[in-house]
C-alpha cells in the first residue's frame, strides 16, 4: 500500500541550529516526492519537489532534501533555522491510478524554534 511516514511528530530546535526532518515512503513505482509547509491557519506552501535526476533538491527558504531510493527516504534539511521556520511540515508522494493523480500525505512534523 502507498504510504508516507514522518517519524517525528514534534521537533524543537534552537535558532541557528541545523534541522533534519525525516520522511519515509512506500510506493511501488517511481515516486514523485514533495515537501510542503503549513503555518498556523494557513494553506500549504510547496518547499521543494523531486521528480527525477539529481537526488539532492534545492527549495525555497534555504531548504533542501535528498532522495535516497535504497532507504525509501526523502529527508528535509536546513543548515541554519530561523524563528520564522516554526510551522508544520508535510511530506507527500504523488500517487497515480490511471489518469488520476493524488497526493498521499504523512501526518506532519511540527517544528518549534527556540530563540
Partner 1 sequence: ETGVTQSPTHLIKTRGQQVTLRCSSQSGHNTVSWYQQALGQGPQFIFQYYREEENGRGNFPPRFSGLQFPNYSSELNVNALELDDSALYLCASSLDSRNTDTQYFGPGTRLTVL
Using CB under 8 A, list all residues that contact partner 1.
4, 32, 34, 36, 42-46, 49, 51, 90, 92, 94, 96-108
Nearer to partner 1, 69 or 102 (CB): 102
User: In whole angstroms, how close is the CB of 95 to partner 1 at the nearest point?
Assistant: 8
Instruction: Using the minimum distance from each CB to partner 1, give the nearer residue, 14 or 99.
Output: 99
For residue 29, the minimal CB distance to partner 1 (Å) is 9
CA distance 107 to 104: 10
Q: Shortest approach of partner 1 to residue 17 CB, angstroms?
A: 25
Question: Measured between alpha carbons, how far is 43 from 31 in angstroms, rounded to an integer?
Answer: 24
Q: Using the minimum distance from each CB to partner 1, give the nearer residue, 2 or 15.
A: 2
Amino acid at each position: 500500500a502507498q504510504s508516507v511516514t514522518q517519524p517525528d511528530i514534534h521537533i524543537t530546535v534552537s535558532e541557528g541550529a541545523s534541522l533534519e526532518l525525516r520522511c519515509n515512503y512506500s510506493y511501488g513505482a517511481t515516486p514523485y516526492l514533495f515537501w510542503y509547509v503549513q503555518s498556523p491557519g494557513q494553506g500549504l506552501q510547496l518547499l521543494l519537489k523531486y521528480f527525477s535526476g539529481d537526488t539532492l533538491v534545492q527549495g525555497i527558504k534555504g531548504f533542501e532534501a535528498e532522495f535516497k531510493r535504497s532507504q525509501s527516504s526523502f529527508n528535509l534539511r536546513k543548515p541554519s533555522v530561523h524563528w520564522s521556520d516554526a510551522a508544520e511540515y508535510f511530506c507527500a508522494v504523488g500517487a497515480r491510478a490511471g489518469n488520476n493523480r493524488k497526493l498521499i500525505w504523512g501526518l506532519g512534523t511540527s517544528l518549534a524554534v527556540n530563540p
